[in-house]
Chains A and B, each alone.
Chain A
Amino acid sequence: GAVVSQHPSRVICKSGTSVKIECRSLDFQATTMFWYRQFPKKSLMLMATSNEGSKATYEQGVEKDKFLINHASLTLSTLTVTSAHPEDSSFYICSARVTSGSSEQFFGPGTRLTVL
């Protein structure tokens, strides 16, 4: 159990376009989902906490108008990278926490974004 999916797994886009990444909890409900970013050979850095039915909470230094997060249901959160630029190229990973019970998080397989 506790499977999280992400779509797409890989995306290449032109500079200035917007890209939407979906994160789904497949076999459980998730009130809270999280979005992370990982640079090559580096650790994961939390970008924002996504709460179902309310506004996301962004970490310091993360532009909320650049990285739009929507958590419309208990199984889906989306991250939209707006007006993407080459410096936005990265590996984006989402996670979800089961609504009730422990605080253990389960991670999606990640989305590799390349902006040309």
Chain B
Amino acid sequence: GIQVEQSPPDLILQEGANSTLRCNFSDSVNNLQWFHQNPWGQLINLFYIPSGTKQNGRLSATTVATERYSLLYISSSQTTDSGVYFCAVGEGGGNKLTFGTGTQLKVEL
């Protein structure tokens, strides 16, 4: 099956700093989503981005499908950005998602 790797696995930032999270996948995909999992376990949809670039406030994402990677940019980070960030990809017609390994982000004052 498709492999999805995220980097870095852990990241500690000072409040106000910018960061880039990366998601590499091993095969062609027709779905790619970025999520933030909060401390209570809820997965919050950040972006649905099988290709191209999107922005939402301090967050933006870019997927280069031909090169099999996606990037999530967080600018001016806040303590509330802390948590685990997952990318997940879907392939074929079944719409199943394969989750990446996650990036644990901690934003400190």
Contact = CB atoms under 8 A, between A and B. Distances in A.
A32 to B, nearest CB: 7
- Kindly state the interface size class of chain A when it binds its partner: 20 to 34
Interface of B: 30-31, 33, 35, 40-43, 45, 48, 86, 88, 90, 94-102
A103 B30 contact: yes
A93 to B, nearest CB: 7
B43 A107 contact: yes
A109 interface: yes
A34 B45 contact: no
A110 to B, nearest CB: 4
A104 B45 contact: yes
13 contacts: A34-B97, A36-B99, A43-B100, A44-B43, A44-B99, A46-B98, A93-B41, A97-B95, A103-B90, A104-B48, A105-B95, A107-B45, A110-B42
A28 interface: no
Interface of A: 2, 32, 34, 36, 38, 43-46, 49, 57, 91, 93, 95, 97, 102-107, 109-110, 112
Nearest to A111: B41
Contacts of A2: 45
Most A CB contacts (10 A, CB to CB) among B30, B31, B95, B100 go to B95
Contacts of B100: 43
A41 to B, nearest CB: 8
A109 B42 contact: yes
